[in-house]
């Protein structure tokens, strides 16, 4: 993680600012130990540095049922920009080269990803506004279907992508914005992977072949992702990595890395923990300081240094450069 920046695809700290303190950045100091808050947060700068994180996609998320959704997302984008600007340890990145440079300077490259196509209100102009503000991925749905596509959380409205959703995928390809299909229905994911002319990402999902969960990805779609040359950034969400009795652990997460590697290869794997979007991480992966323990576990299982560098950030950088 020194030669290649460790890139995480999904962290919900900006949502914590909105939810906990009404977007008042002065009331939560990321230089302090935010684990002491109640409920504890997973993210602060000392722990990010301890975890050797090189780059973070900060999630620009809002619920699907807010009034004036587009205006609310404008405010959430600006909140995320202000959070990045507030800390000298962070710097906004919009390209793979930015990430490499910022990491080489000892800072944490900070990108923005919008979680949910409801953010654009059906408008390609709003999509372009997001891109111009520095947003570099958009998740087509959150936990409920929208005017673009069906969600894994339902209901089935379009049988996958709508006509507007197809327009949006094409425009994202044209702009160079990553299409994120975490949270989408299986039909949506299959259609996006056929339609997209650029590599696609799952920013925070896992393997359904190992853990039966609607938010996880079945084997046939993982094989489509390989053909698309995309990346699945595997999450640490306990219910996505473990079923049955007892709590989820680091070893459960590592099992998903092993499973996906065996099916489609290390070239198509990244990390998308979902810290501060989950209540609690698995045992051994409780917060952002713990990434090195995952890589140590994978190394103990026979992963090579080259494979670990691809997973840490090399694959995501490749996909960004292919947009």
Inside any domain, residue 213:
yes
Please report, for the domain that includes residue 90, its CATH number.
Answer: 3.20.20.140
1 inside domain: no
pLDDT of residue 234: 99
Catalytic residue, from 274, 276, 286, 287: name it: 274
Kindly name the residue from 44, 115, 150, 309 that is annotated as catalytic.
115
Computed over every residue of the chain, the mean pLDDT equals 98
Burial class (CB in 10 A: 0-12, 13-18, 19+), 53: buried
Task: Please tell me which residue in 42, 103, 118, 204 is annotated as part of the active site.
Answer: 204
In a domain, 103, yes or no: yes
Domain count, the chain: 1
66 or 170: which leads in pLDDT: 170
- Look at residue 294 in the predicted model and tell me its pLDDT: 99
Residue among 42, 103, 183, 268 flagged as catalytic: 183
Does residue 150 carry a catalytic annotation? no
Cis? peptide before 39, omega within 30° of 0: yes
User: Among 10, 118, 256, 268, which one carries the catalytic annotation?
Assistant: 10
What confidence category does residue 110 fall into, taking pLDDT thresholds of 50, 70 and 90?
very high
Q: Which domain holds residue 246?
A: 6-321
Q: Of these residues, 42, 103, 118, 142, which one is catalytic? A: 142
Phi, psi of 234 (to 5 degrees): -80, 135
Known catalytic membership, residue 274:
yes
Is 243 a member of any domain? Answer: yes
pLDDT in tens, 176-229: 999 999 999 999 999 999 999 999 999 999 999 999 999 999 999 999 999 999
- Verify whether residue 158 is a known catalytic residue: no
29 is catalytic: no
| 121-163 residue pLDDT tens | 999 999 999 999 999 999 999 999 999 999 999 999 999 999 9
Residue 310 located in a structural domain: yes
- Is 242 designated active site? no
Give the pLDDT band (50/70/90) at residue 3.
confident
Question: Has 258 been annotated as catalytic?
Answer: no
pLDDT band at 289 (very low <50, low <70, confident <90, very high): very high
At residue 1 the predicted structure's pLDDT band, cuts being 50, 70 and 90, is: low
The string of pLDDT tens digits covering residues 230-275 is 999 999 999 999 998 899 999 999 999 999 999 999 999 999 999 9
């Amino acid at each position: 993680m020194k030669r290649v920046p460790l890139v995480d695809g999904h962290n919900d700290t900006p949502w914590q600012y909105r939810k906990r303190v009404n977007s008042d950045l002065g009331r939560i100091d990321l230089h302090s130990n935010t684990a002491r808050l109640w409920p504890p947060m997973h993210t602060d700068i000392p722990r990010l540095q301890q975890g050797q994180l090189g780059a973070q996609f900060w999630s620009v998320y809002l619920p699907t049922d807010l009034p004036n959704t587009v205006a609310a997302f404008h405010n959430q984008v600006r909140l995320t920009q202000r959070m990045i600007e507030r800390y000298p340890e962070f710097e906004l990145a919009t390209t793979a080269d930015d990430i490499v440079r910022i990491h080489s300077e000892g800072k944490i490259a900070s990108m923005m990803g919008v979680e949910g196509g409801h953010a654009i209100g059906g408008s390609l102009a709003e999509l372009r506004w997001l891109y111009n503000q520095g947003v570099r991925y958009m998740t087509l749905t959150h936990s409920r279907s929208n005017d673009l596509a069906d969600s894994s959380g339902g209901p089935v409205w379009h049988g996958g992508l709508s006509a507007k959703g197809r327009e949006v995928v094409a425009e994202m390809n044209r702009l160079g914005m990553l299409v994120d299909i975490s949270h989408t229905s299986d039909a949506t994911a299959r259609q996006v992977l056929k339609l997209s002319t650029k590599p696609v990402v799952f920013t925070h999902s896992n393997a359904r072949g190992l853990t039966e969960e609607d938010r996880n990805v079945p084997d046939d779609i993982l094989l489509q992702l390989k053909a698309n040359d995309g990346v699945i950034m595997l999450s640490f969400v306990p219910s996505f990595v473990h079923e049955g009795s007892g709590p989820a652990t680091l070893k459960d997460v590592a099992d998903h890395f092993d499973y996906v590697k065996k099916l489609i290869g290390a070239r198509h794997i990244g990390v998308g923990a979902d810290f501060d979007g989950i209540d609690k991480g698995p045992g051994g992966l409780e917060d952002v300081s713990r990434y090195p323990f995952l890589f140590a576990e994978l190394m103990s299982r026979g992963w090579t240094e080259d494979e670990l560098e691809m997973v840490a950030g090399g694959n995501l950088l490749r996909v960004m450069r292919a947009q």
